[in-house]
Structure 1
Amino acid sequence: MTSKPFPHPKGGPSFWRSAPGELDNYRSPEGIPPQIDIAIIGSGFSGGSLVTHLLNSMAADEKSILVLEARELCSGATGRNGGHLKPDVYNMASYLASKHGIDAATEVADFELDNVRAVEEYVRNSGADCDFFLTRAVDVQLGYDRLIDASVESTKSVFYLHGKDAEMIFKISGIKGAKGAFSYTAGHVWPYKMIHHMFSRAIAKGVNVQTNTPVLSISQSQEDDRWVLKTKRGTVLAKQVLMATKAYTAALLPEYHNKIIPSRAVCSRIVTPSSPPLLPNTYAIRFNDWDFDYLIPRPDGSIVVGGARRTYLKRLEDWYGNVNDEDLIKRAKHYFDGYMQRHFRGWENSSARTDQVWTGSESSPALLPKTTRKKDIVHFIEPLNKTANNSLLVMGYSSDRLPRLGRVPGRDNIFIMGGFTGHGMSQVFLAAKGIVQMVLTSCSYADSKLPSVFEETSERLSSPENFVMDLFNNLPSEPRL
């Protein structure tokens, strides 16, 4: 694993980026200013949410804002993930309750539910044309059947089907062999369109956006308390720096080496020329504790689908610490041949096929205590045909599985939003709101209304914990293929 995980110069395309927007390579005409009040590094969901909340929380021209993006706008994880706004109110709740207590579990579950509502409200009030849908997530268990009881209030909103009840409900247009299923409120969105909407509004309000401008280094000014951001196109002095760099954070802040770990996964889009039974929900199919696929039906009839962990997870070089989002994980190439026909009733004669593949995201693959259920493992795969449009996604996994939010220890006026471990769509928007409150008011983390266990601290940065390697080391010696 490289200690300087800069973005790959050329990331591959994805379905979401199949029709690039007019801001894809946008550069504000004023260029890179010599000095700025607030610099945001990264233009994905984190960067767009930070800009949105900054502009909503201060008067016009109160502070100058510069956004620096290494490649095209929204070309990283947000432009390649599944677009799934899926609060985890049972698996994560179980994990947090066992490790951090009921209060922490409740706080995070409520935060993620509120995040879905906040994104829905933003889309509605701002008029964003981004295919937002509020729906139900259905997590189906095939290889095992265990119910979680985390004693968390939010889990009461989860509907659970067990045994024969699960089989009955899935007999029509459902998943074959279901042993049990959880159902709860979730959403999905076209992430690239939503982020472009955020930045179009920001640019209209005077925010300076510079794409294709990688930051090469961050250092303390020798003259005052500002930060020196060196780019390939010039240098800027910033009073405050907001790190929205996710998997690439350690390239600029070396203390995050092995703390925010780049990890590759793959994502695909399945289409069908026929009219198979309607899939009204999003789905997760769990084969065992670590093996998981997920599917998001699109309004155009296609399905964003991912998984195939069993094909490559034991090959650490394929995914761990790898920032190359241009090449594919070839071991997963044929995993989704006949996927819909194999798993869904009524799809046997659908002629469903993979149309496009890119690197996609996982939703917090965790190695939990053996007394609890293990966290959703979500992720996406590579092409099933030679003409597919292929690329990869690189996510930032936190070494202790929890997002890292707040002030960077030992670096005054540098703030971090990272380590979402593939689960960022369910946390980022409200996380940015809390970070902005700290940036503008100098309030404490405790007053930001962010979950207490997400706070970045010196203790977390010095911890030797690495749950990603724990997951790898605890895999069965011969994964089922």
Structure 2
Amino acid sequence: MTDPGLPHPQPTRSFWLIDNPLSNHRTTVSLPGCADIVILGAGITGASVAYHLTNLDTEGKSLLCLDARAAAGGASGRCGGNMTNSTYRYFKYDMKKYGLDIAKKLRVFELETVSALKKLIKDHGWEKKVELREGGTVHAYLTDLEFNEAIENIEEMRNQGLGHELVIWDRLETVKKTHGEDFVGAVMNPNGSQLSPSKLTIQLLQLALKSGYFNLQTYTPVQSITPYTAESAPASIDISSLKGQPKWIINTNRGSVICSKVIHCTNGYCAHLLPQLRDCIVPVRGQMMITIPSSIPRLWPFGISINRGYIYGWQRNDNMVILGGARGEAGPELEYNCSDDSDINTAIDRKLRQFLPTHFGDMVKSPTKIMMTWAGIMGMSNDVLNLPWVGPIPGLRWEGQYISAGYHGHGMPRAFHCAKAVAQMVLGSKPDVPGWMDEMLPSKKTGPTMKDWARKEDLYKIMRIEDGLAEMERRKEEEDSDTYAEPEIKSKL
């Protein structure tokens, strides 16, 4: 894999970043010459790390956060805003291949992360500030095959004491509640939520800034990290205030910073400064759009996705619909190894514009009126469990570099507790978060490369979406010829 480089200086304009109070924030005019802990990236992970560190016993350590762009200017200001935990999908497969314990922990970790974030938001009264909506998330299905497969996974989850909160809708209920005539059924996850990801990130950063020892410096791209030696360190930097041993020199476009510990929170871009991870965490471009206000009637009070999340979206209180996904339209490469969010893929754009009139044609007429469309960069992990990389980075000259990245498109339901775990490790403790798995530690990672498996997984999704469209056309033909029969649902639980 190639070097993802630094984030593009002129990315596409995201709706989430129209109003960003920390866009150009610099806590101090000059870049500090040293800091005990340096956080790279001011997105949801970096902000969460800062929040957790300022709420743990840091013993007066100084904290510095550097970002190449504005705060929340990366994926945290460009994603879909879906804060929905993984549940039944692939449960039987995971249980068979990795064992029941891992299959359960995979679900518990995301559920507990989402629950912790919602509690934090409510404890601080941020519901309106971050536009939190708790209407659940609906996974709708176009084919009987996939719907029955979903039910089988839910049955197995319930046999293992999980998934009892999930609600299965038959075709009539799905059509009534989604206004989509093409769906054969759906599953409602009531724990699913939606919000403004950038505004949540900003709230976390602002809370950390109140500590008095957290310094945020935007538009300060890191060019390299080198081991500290007395000979290589800039003579002008006074390190007497460091609580620990100086170990690393962070070189930026505005000068250098000497520190004891570094935490990489740059997700899809982390392999730029950590070239040994270029086959481990791969940048993948995703795409979003939002409709013009008042151009769409009220459709759903919940988030919605079709065919294993291939396309997903939700409708804000002002009726603007946010849509994302459809990477299969990009061709075999699926936007893998793409770290350029300064442009969009026109084929994906067409697919997203067609989504509402195709599946909700009785409510939404073509063409869909779009206000904005933008791109963002995810970090896909080569971990066979799709798990992020969280913890100390092995194999370096000195200890003291850590990472929390590679969320595989699940940043919102993973990053907050991953950040807590890495903050605990930075301070010398073991991870203490519900559902934690040592398989997240970089030192424990094994498995095939991204090329071998993750791309095939997405190709499988693409084939299934095409199957779904074919099934939809077949069903419509049968309905027109009066031969259509309501499909038998394997189990309604």
Query: Equivalent of 2:184, from 169, 179, 185?
Result: 179
2: distance between equivalents of 1:342 and 1:453? 44
User: Structure 1 residue 194: deviation in Å?
Assistant: 1.4
Query: Equivalent of 2:105, from 88, 104, 107?
Result: 107
1:261-309 Cα distance to aligned partner (Å, 9 max, x none): 00012101124636734411111112xx6x7211111111111112323
User: Structure 1 residue 124: deviation in Å?
Assistant: 1.6
Q: Does the residue aligned with 2:418 lie in a helix, a strand or coil?
A: helix
2: distance between equivalents of 1:456 and 1:90? 25
Query: Equivalent of 1:196, from 195, 198, 202?
Result: 202
Q: Does the residue aligned with 1:283 lie in a helix, a strand or coil?
A: strand
- TM superposition outliers: structure 1 runs of 4+ over 6 Å: 475-479
Amino acid at match of 2:141: Q
Which residue pairs with 2:316 in the alignment? 298
User: Is the 8 Å Cα contact of residues 434 and 449 (structure 1) preserved in structure 2?
Assistant: no
1:215 aligns with 2:198: no
User: Structure 1 residue 331: deviation in Å?
Assistant: 1.9
User: Structure 1 residue 9: deviation in Å?
Assistant: 2.0
Larger deviation, residues 242-251 vs 92-101: 92-101
Is the alpha carbon distance of 1:352 and 1:49 closer, same or farther for their aligned partners in structure 2, counting shifts above 3 Å? Answer: same
Which residue pairs with 2:336 in the alignment? 320
User: Is the 8 Å Cα contact of residues 438 and 444 (structure 2) preserved in structure 1?
Assistant: no
Alignment of structure 1 residues 126-141 onto 2, 5 Å: 126-128=124-126, 129-141=129-141
Is the alpha carbon distance of 1:476 and 1:174 closer, same or farther for their aligned partners in structure 2, counting shifts above 3 Å? Answer: closer
Q: Does the residue aligned with 1:157 lie in a helix, a strand or coil?
A: coil
User: Structure 1 residue 410: deviation in Å?
Assistant: 2.4
1:45 aligns with 2:24: no
User: Structure 1 residue 135: deviation in Å?
Assistant: 2.0
User: Is the 8 Å Cα contact of residues 139 and 305 (structure 2) preserved in structure 1?
Assistant: yes
Is the alpha carbon distance of 1:219 and 1:96 closer, same or farther for their aligned partners in structure 2, counting shifts above 3 Å? Answer: farther
2: distance between equivalents of 1:472 and 1:258? 18
1:57-111 Cα distance to aligned partner (Å, 9 max, x none): 136x711000000111111001000111010111153443233211112112112
Amino acid at match of 2:300: L
User: 5+ unaligned residues in a row in structure 1: which ranges?
Assistant: 359-391
Which residue pairs with 2:233 in the alignment? none
User: Is the 8 Å Cα contact of residues 109 and 436 (structure 2) preserved in structure 1?
Assistant: yes
User: Structure 1 residue 31: deviation in Å?
Assistant: 2.3
Which residue pairs with 2:472 in the alignment? none
Seq. identity, %:
28
Which residue pairs with 2:489 in the alignment? none
Amino acid at match of 2:382: S
Residues matched between the structures, number: 436
Amino acid at match of 1:231: T
Which residue pairs with 2:488 in the alignment? none
Is the alpha carbon distance of 1:278 and 1:457 closer, same or farther for their aligned partners in structure 2, counting shifts above 3 Å? Answer: closer
Is the alpha carbon distance of 1:56 and 1:176 closer, same or farther for their aligned partners in structure 2, counting shifts above 3 Å? Answer: same
Is the alpha carbon distance of 1:172 and 1:187 closer, same or farther for their aligned partners in structure 2, counting shifts above 3 Å? Answer: closer
2: distance between equivalents of 1:112 and 1:477? 27
Q: Does the residue aligned with 2:352 lie in a helix, a strand or coil?
A: coil
Which residue pairs with 1:14 in the alignment? 14
Is the alpha carbon distance of 1:341 and 1:6 closer, same or farther for their aligned partners in structure 2, counting shifts above 3 Å? Answer: same
Which residue pairs with 1:432 in the alignment? 419
Amino acid at match of 1:357: T
2: distance between equivalents of 1:135 and 1:435? 31
Which residue pairs with 1:233 in the alignment? 254
Which residue pairs with 1:250 in the alignment? 271
Amino acid at match of 2:167: F
- The structure with the greater share of residues assigned to helix is 2
2: distance between equivalents of 1:283 and 1:158? 14
Name the TM-score, length of structure 1 as normaliser.
0.84
The structure whose Rg is larger is: 2
Alignment of structure 1 residues 145-160 onto 2, 5 Å: 145=147, 146=149, 147=151, 148=153, 149-150=156-157, 151-160=159-168
1: distance between equivalents of 2:217 and 2:165? 43
